[in-house]
Structure 1
Amino acid sequence: MLEEQGLLDGGGAAQRVADPGTSLSREECRSLPQRQWGADRGYACMWREDYTFIYNRNSPTPTPGVQPVGRFHYIQEHELTTQWNNSAWTGKSAIHFYTGGVIGAATEALMSVSPVCSSSGAGCPVTGSGLSDVPVATNIDLETTFTVSNGTLATGAQVTNNATSKWVFTHPQTNPLRWNAPEARFPQVRCDRAASLTGQGCVIPAAEPIFDISSRGVQTHAQHIQRAQASGLPGVVNGVPLRRLVDPNAIQANRNSSCNRIPGPRAANTDCDEYPFASTYDGGASSGAVTRTYEDCNVAAGLSGGGSSIRVLDPDNIQNEGAGLSMCFINRQDNRSGGGYLSWFYRKQRLLDAETFYVN
């Protein structure tokens, strides 16, 4: 019966005449495995291929042997975009039908979609009315965009938003009248006005950001980080992440236990660079016993104020020394520019205390 109605092909698989278009903002989204969200702190996307069958029956549970009277074959696409300096964020849901993907009684169906948001705070009002009772037969590509607003947050406030988007098919002559397409649950969004950051904004907290210092033109700073990571220190992409530290007293303690213990005098136009950063829980004071430098770093033979000696490594043959701290004298401008880039990274990624990140 299904073959006669054209609902399945001779091999039992759904007919696929032509792939539909896309509404996703980023091309790489379609290379993701379907149903898997891909995200950074400011953008997430997902697509899924699905079928929805409609039945002429009186029970919402398909009865064995009962045949569908219509079928939809489509791709859903969903994405969300946050703003690091605004407590509002946007979502988008789209549906695209395959050529020949609306068959039988499905050609008389209507579609609706509406986003819903729940929040840990005072609510997350949604603007954007979605779509209501749009004829499927004449609308093979549809999308709707909505905005979630969190208003003005109090200082120190954090709220989490959970949004869901669901497409619903209705048919005027079948029973039941409504069929739900698989719903899309958007990744959780956190909006905050943290005291350690400027202003308010939203991010996707499940995404661990990458601080890309390699492309910033601070060559000696980037080189030191690369060496430090090669020697076994955390922060390598896909390895053990760093954890942001916001307590200024703890940050100063990290500095005092690292570069501030190297005796002078220091060469002109140089700064002592330390890794892991003092602004992480992995920095100086808690980094471990093995303090290291490199043959061309011009670091003194020992630390002032007691403590272990500095292990001097061959930069062309770096071995894994395990946990610890790395120091090197580098170009002053590189060091200070690198610090500025890191501060901006914290702000734009809205990294809160103990949140994790990587360094490239």
Structure 2
Amino acid sequence: MDTVRQTNPPPSTLAERLRWEPTAKQETYDADAAKFAVSGPVPHIAVDPVTVDECDHHKFPSGAPVWWHKNHYSTCWSGYDNLFKPASCPIFCDDSINSFRLVVIGVGDVNTVLNNDTSSPVRKARFTVRTSTGPKSGPEPAPDSSLIRLRINCVALDGTTCQNSQSAGVTKTLGEIRAGFETSFDLTVSGTGTPGDADNKTYYNTSLTITNTLPPGYEPPEVSLPNDALRCDTSTYNYNLDTQRRDRGACIFTDVDAVLHYSKAPGSPVKAVADHIALAQTHPEDTKPGGVGKTIPGSHASGFKLSRLVPELGVGRDDRYAANRFIAQANCIRFWGLDYTQGGKLDCDEYPFASTYEGAAYNLWNGGNTAVSYSSMPLDKGENRAAGRALNVWYATDHILEKDGYYVDIDG
């Protein structure tokens, strides 16, 4: 199999996995706020899944992670399994190889339902494997009659169940695999996650194992790809106003950082907000209340992700969200006066957003004067509300849950 690379791999225990989830990942899934900011229906709540053909043509650059994540719902790998027999001079002085190509995609499920649907949440994922021929050379290539077993592994880290529709794997001859075939493994998750987790999140490591039944002298007998990280949940608060559809549980791959892009280029529907965020991220001392030596988080440069706050979950979250809004608006009044809206033309825009734990009330909840600050200022109402709409639609589209971390990048 081609040399595989794994940076910051998902751990094999639940405690380590919970610490690993918010860490910085090698890959990013980037979304443009502009496509969510415009009025009118957004086609669907879930992002488009990766296809086998798309994965087959994807270029894995040097140093890239093992798995390519098109988005949170899609993972992919492609490469070769090389069945090898070393040269054995003086009879056969050339190496022998008989290989085949694999394309593996994993697609998580988002169970979107109409708003009045009260069906139980569903947690599923599907892996599809497609094979084709590869290089064959040397005096003794592995026989095409050799049996090859392909198996998708799904290991639960938390006592839940990950049922595999083909748990024993699929066995074919090397000749059949080189001729090309396709098969799918359906994973169905059940069970209760970490106690006290409002979203009932459950955690799994998934991988591909290839077992080769070969004559003596041929290798390798078995090879596995490194693990990928699957997370499932039964959350119900992600709701798309345009489509009138709601998440009722989903499975996503979490070894990828979510990044929301706002553009400050001329003509951007969120330019004023993007300018504000750019100023806050790069020159917090020039914002209000700002402050020299302060950090306003959210950019890659800060190394400090924002984490989503969901007031609908209650238990103090609603109070913190309200405090974020109150402190930000009080700041607008403090520096721009009671009529900072200029008769309703402006809104008090805040960054970090009120729907994050890093919002204006961060210091209030974290023991006083920390190095973290925020910014708020009056901005055009239309652009401010377009930016807010984009954020909320993106939360639903990318399945960003309570305390999930993400970055905000400014383009243009």
Q: Structure 2 length as normaliser, TM-score?
A: 0.61
Which position in structure 2 is the counterpart of 1:264? 338
Q: Does 1:80 align with 2:106?
A: yes
Contact 2:142 2:218 in 1 (8 A): no
1:145 partner SS: strand
C-alpha separation in 1, matches of 2:407 and 2:65: 26
Q: 1:3-18 alignment to 2 at 5 Å?
A: none
Q: Does 1:100 align with 2:136?
A: yes
Gap runs ≥5 in structure 2: 1-50, 87-91, 112-121, 239-246, 285-295, 311-316
Moved over 4 A (4+): 66-70, 151-155, 175-179, 195-198
Pick 1 or 2: higher relative contact order, CA cutoff 8 A, min separation 6: 2
What code does the residue aligned with 1:225 have?
A: I
Deviation at 1:201, TM superposition (A): 0.8
Which position in structure 1 is the counterpart of 2:201? 158
Q: 1:1-360 alignment to 2 at 5 Å?
A: 23-26=52-55, 29-33=58-62, 36-39=66-69, 40-53=71-84, 70-85=96-111, 87-100=123-136, 104-108=140-144, 109-119=146-156, 120-128=158-166, 131-136=170-175, 139-150=178-189, 156-171=199-214, 174-175=215-216, 180-194=221-235, 197=238, 198-214=247-263, 217-232=269-284, 233-237=296-300, 239-240=302-303, 241-246=305-310, 247-261=317-331, 262=333, 263-265=337-339, 266-267=341-342, 268-286=344-362, 323-360=372-409
Residues paired across the two proteins, number: 298
Deviation at 1:183, TM superposition (A): 1.1
Cα 1:101–1:79 shift into 2, 3 Å: farther
Contact 2:269 2:386 in 1 (8 A): no
C-alpha separation in 2, matches of 1:126 and 1:101: 36
Contact 1:82 1:88 in 2 (8 A): yes
Q: Tell me how large the CA RMSD over aligned residues is.
A: 3.7
Cα 1:101–1:127 shift into 2, 3 Å: farther
Cα 1:140–1:32 shift into 2, 3 Å: farther
Cα 1:101–1:161 shift into 2, 3 Å: farther
Cα 1:336–1:158 shift into 2, 3 Å: same
Deviation at 1:187, TM superposition (A): 1.1
Deviation at 1:195, TM superposition (A): 6.0
What code does the residue aligned with 1:83 have?
A: D
Deviation at 1:161, TM superposition (A): 2.4
Deviation at 1:156, TM superposition (A): 3.5
Contact 1:126 1:146 in 2 (8 A): yes
Cα 1:23–1:336 shift into 2, 3 Å: closer
2:361 partner SS: helix
Which position in structure 1 is the counterpart of 2:114? none
Q: Deviations over 1:58-84 (max 9, x none)?
A: xxxxxxxx9999533344433212234
Cα 1:222–1:237 shift into 2, 3 Å: same
Deviation at 1:163, TM superposition (A): 2.2
Gap runs ≥5 in structure 1: 1-21, 56-65, 289-307, 309-321
Cα 1:230–1:102 shift into 2, 3 Å: farther
Q: Which has the larger radius of gyration?
A: 1
C-alpha separation in 2, matches of 1:102 and 1:143: 28
1:139 partner SS: helix
Q: Deviations over 1:284-328 (max 9, x none)?
A: 02269xxxxxxxxxxxxxxxxxxx9xxxxxxxxxxxxx8422222
Identity %: 21
Q: Structure 1 length as normaliser, TM-score?
A: 0.69
Contact 1:166 1:180 in 2 (8 A): no
What code does the residue aligned with 2:78 have?
A: W
What code does the residue aligned with 1:249 have?
A: D
Deviation at 1:106, TM superposition (A): 0.9
Deviation at 1:275, TM superposition (A): 0.5
